[in-house]
Structure 1
Amino acid sequence: MNINPINYEEDNFSILANNNEKKQSNSLSFGTYLKEAINDVNKLQIESENYKKLLATGDVDNLHDVMIAAEKADISLQLTMSIRNKVVDAYREIMRMQL
């Protein structure tokens, strides 16, 4: 009776390699997420401006929609600016560290 050896290590390496390829193809970089977030904030700002123009011309029936769009844009911009400030502060703190 002939027993074939089990190639346990080779099988595991091939499985790990396949998993790493899948993770790399599915994962997005931090820069991509950052660009998407900034684009979302920009879209909210543009939408708010459009509502304000419609309000100024009298083409808006519901003032609530205008106010909601303006507040969404304002809150998203404030959040973006506070995150930017935290990142800049963290960078400055790291640069002050002595090695």
Structure 2
Amino acid sequence: MDTGRVDINQVLMQMRTIKSQMQQARPAETRADQQGVNQINSQLPMPGQSTRSVEQSEPPSFGEMFKSAVDTVNDNQKAASSLSQRFELGDPQVDLPEVMIALQKSSVSFQAMTQVRNKMVEAYKEIMNMAL
């Protein structure tokens, strides 16, 4: 007799299967993470080595850093928009969690950039109001 209810045992079995699959996939992720750490460590100088390069390069200007940050925010927004559009069109290679993460990343980076801009405007106003 079908009452339209969900079989709890079947749902629990599916959850356990998914959990075991995730646990099996996790060691592969850990190895990839460790390889990334090893690659970064290999680029760091050994103790006793000089960290100075032969040529002294100028640090980037504030304008360059700000432009880079704005470009990054713009890239995040373009990527999120592209993923969202691909998902809406039914692209099987794009899943909803990926789209949601990209949209949130885009939103957070834009909000952070807006806060930086607001602080810069406040600092500018404060400097302009200073008595000489």
Scaled by the length of structure 2, what TM-score is found? 0.55
Q: Aligned Cα RMSD in Å?
A: 1.9
Q: Is the 8 A contact 2:87 2:95 kept in 1?
A: no
- Determine the C-alpha separation between the residues in 1 that align with 2:95 and 2:60: 39
User: What is the correspondence of 1:15-54 to structure 2 with a 5 Å cutoff?
Assistant: 22-23=55-56, 25-54=57-86
- Determine the C-alpha separation between the residues in 1 that align with 2:82 and 2:71: 16
Number of residue pairs aligned between Structure 1 and Structure 2: 79
* Secondary structure of 1:72 counterpart: helix
Unaligned runs of 5+ in 1: 1-18
Code of the residue aligned with 2:109 in structure 1: it is S
Higher mean displacement: 57-66 or 47-56: 57-66
* Secondary structure of 1:27 counterpart: coil
- Determine the C-alpha separation between the residues in 1 that align with 2:123 and 2:59: 25
Larger-gyration structure (1/2): 1
- Determine the C-alpha separation between the residues in 2 that align with 1:26 and 1:96: 32
Unaligned runs of 5+ in 2: 1-51
Question: Which one has more relative contact order, counting CA pairs under 8 Å at least 6 apart?
Answer: 1
Residue 131 (structure 2) aligns with = 98
Q: Give 1:53 shift.
A: 0.4
Residue 71 (structure 1) aligns with = 104
Q: Give 1:26 shift.
A: 4.1
Identity %: 38
Scaled by the length of structure 1, what TM-score is found? 0.71
- Determine the C-alpha separation between the residues in 2 that align with 1:70 and 1:95: 37
Give the ranges of 4+ consecutive aligned residues of structure 1 lying more than 4 Å apart after TM superposition: none
